[in-house]
Amino acid sequence: MKTIDDFNFKDKKALIRVDFNVPLNDKFAVTDATRIEAAKPTIIKVLEDGGSAVLMSHLGRPKGQVNDSMSLKHIVNKASEIIGVKVKFAEDCVGLSAVEAVSALQPGEVLLLENLRFHAEEEKGDEAFAEELSKLGDIYVNDAFGTAHRAHASTTIVAQFFPDHKCFGYLLAKEIESIKKVMESGEKPVTAILGGAKVSSKITIIENILDKVDHLIIGGGMTYTFVKAQGGKIGDSICEDDKQDLALSILEKAKARGVHVHIPVDVVAADAFDNNAETKFCPVGEIPDGWQGLDAGPQTLENFKKVILQSKTILWNGPVGVFEMENFAKGTIAVGNYIDEATSNGAFSLVGGGDSVAAVKQFGFEDKVSYVSTGGGAMLESLEGKTLPGIAAILK
């Protein structure tokens, strides 16, 4: 696996695919700069070698149309502040303005190209467009895990024009390494905590990780499909009725492989989907009509704690309650605390996939786990056992 450490960038232009798809407010100010910060070490390595960095990214979904609200010019100041170098900006990512801006670039300088998705060819994976991009650098570096599952021109196709001069940036290399630790080389016992609303969105992950884990903790809205399938009463809790047979077959497969499945035994039930609803603790299979389970109960958390604290490798994907509402966030916060404690005791913990990352950031666990993945969809596809096109293109 070639990483950025395998190259010296002296007097070279690094064409770096970064993921600067960051949220902006109505004044076009960056509201969460995590992704820019994550790319900084790769950019700094190039500059310290005596090279220059040409950054390419998308922002939003302009669908092949130029759209000022999605211009990357809005993030130039923030990127300059984080990288510590004044970032130059090219009005386009291909064509004369891009070529001229790259030609004028001196060692130690950084240039950000305009939004790749202003060109429909980017998402189509157009080869001619990828070739035009390839002319803007001597070495291709992919450091965008968030888009590694897309076979787009800048994430996958462009790599073929750098047969011997392509590599992973630090961020992407770390993502690959972290997933490998969980899926292949993790010290046992390995525990996967899967939460979120739907079993259907996690089926492939569950089926792929059953051979790799010792414990599977099920939490969040998925719980009730499993409980109802086993004959429990779940009141008005969220449930995928058409997935009950699937839930039972997952439990059977887990049993056959010696995987211990831990499902909540009690829940915080509410009489409405509302932070101010009336609440009570209920056994998970005895939720009255008109009530719904919105968080893990105290006995459940005690059970989860025992499993997490004895784990040596932990994957956390999905919250165990409706953490967006303060009164139903206690379970998710507790799980974060248990993972923090296990990590302090030497466990490797990986958090990935949309909502669990949001929860980790919201409750301040970012620095208390081993690694927080930057890619939602890419992370999920990796856990499903798929080889991501952006990764395969570098390994070729």
Instruction: Provide the pLDDT confidence category of residue 349 given band limits of 50, 70 and 90.
Output: very high
Q: Which residues are catalytic?
A: 35, 198, 354, 377
Does residue 374 sit in the same domain as residue 233?
yes
List, in order, residues 6 or more apart from 319 with CB less than 8 Å away: 195, 196, 219, 220, 331, 332, 355, 356, 359
In a domain, 368, yes or no: yes
Does residue 225 sit in the same domain as residue 364?
yes
pLDDT at 355 over 90: no
Instruction: Provide the pLDDT confidence category of residue 354 given band limits of 50, 70 and 90.
Output: low
In a domain, 17, yes or no: yes
Does residue 86 sit in the same domain as residue 214?
no
Binding region for ATP:
202, 293, 324, 353-356
Does residue 165 sit in the same domain as residue 194?
no
Q: What is the pLDDT of residues 12-40, one digit of tens each?
A: 999 999 999 999 999 999 998 989 999 99
Task: Give the tokens for residue 259.
Answer: 């995987």
Q: Rounded distance, CA 232 to CA 287, Å?
A: 8
- Give the domain CATH number at 55: 3.40.50.1260
**pLDDT average, residue stretch 120-132:** 98
Among the candidates 115, 142, 173, a domain finishes at 173
Task: Give the tokens for residue 154.
Answer: 């800048």
pTM for this prediction: 0.87
**To which residue do tokens 């792929």 refer?**
208
Give pLDDT, residue 93.
Answer: 98
Among the candidates 145, 173, 201, a domain finishes at 173
Give pLDDT, residue 185.
Answer: 84
Binding region for (2R)-3-phosphoglycerate:
35, 117, 150
Give pLDDT, residue 374.
Answer: 76
Does residue 89 sit in the same domain as residue 14?
yes
pLDDT at 376 over 90: no
Does residue 106 sit in the same domain as residue 215?
no
Task: Give the tokens for residue 114.
Answer: 């305009």
| Cβ neighbours around 366 below 10 Å, total | 13
Number of domains the chain is built from: 2
Does residue 313 sit in the same domain as residue 339?
yes
Domain with 242, as residue range(s), is 186-383
CA 333, chain centre distance (Å):
19
Binding region:
19-21, 35, 58-61, 117, 150, 202, 293, 324, 353-356
Q: What is the pLDDT of residues 279-309, one digit of tens each?
A: 999 999 999 999 999 999 999 999 999 999 9
In a domain, 388, yes or no: no
Rounded percentage of the chain residues whose pLDDT exceeds 90: 83
Does residue 207 sit in the same domain as residue 345?
yes
Q: What is the pLDDT of residues 173-182, one digit of tens each?
A: 999 999 888 8
Does residue 367 sit in the same domain as residue 330?
yes
Does residue 131 sit in the same domain as residue 275?
no
In a domain, 395, yes or no: no
Q: Rounded distance, CA 31 to CA 41, Å?
A: 21
Give pLDDT, residue 42.
Answer: 98
In a domain, 396, yes or no: no
In a domain, 63, yes or no: yes
Does residue 47 sit in the same domain as residue 126?
yes
Q: What is the pLDDT of residues 227-236, one digit of tens each?
A: 999 999 999 9
pLDDT, the chain, mean: 95
Helix ranges restricted to H, the chain: 34-49, 76-83, 96-103, 120-124, 127-134, 170-180, 203-209, 223-229, 244-256, 298-309, 330-344, 354-362, 376-383, 389-395
Does residue 113 sit in the same domain as residue 244?
no
In a domain, 66, yes or no: yes
Q: Rounded distance, CA 140 to CA 177, Å?
A: 20
Q: What is the pLDDT of residues 28-86, one digit of tens each?
A: 999 989 899 999 999 999 999 999 999 999 999 999 999 999 999 999 999 999 999 99
In a domain, 389, yes or no: no
**pLDDT average, residue stretch 367-390:** 85
Among the candidates 119, 147, 173, a domain finishes at 173
**pLDDT average, residue stretch 126-136:** 98
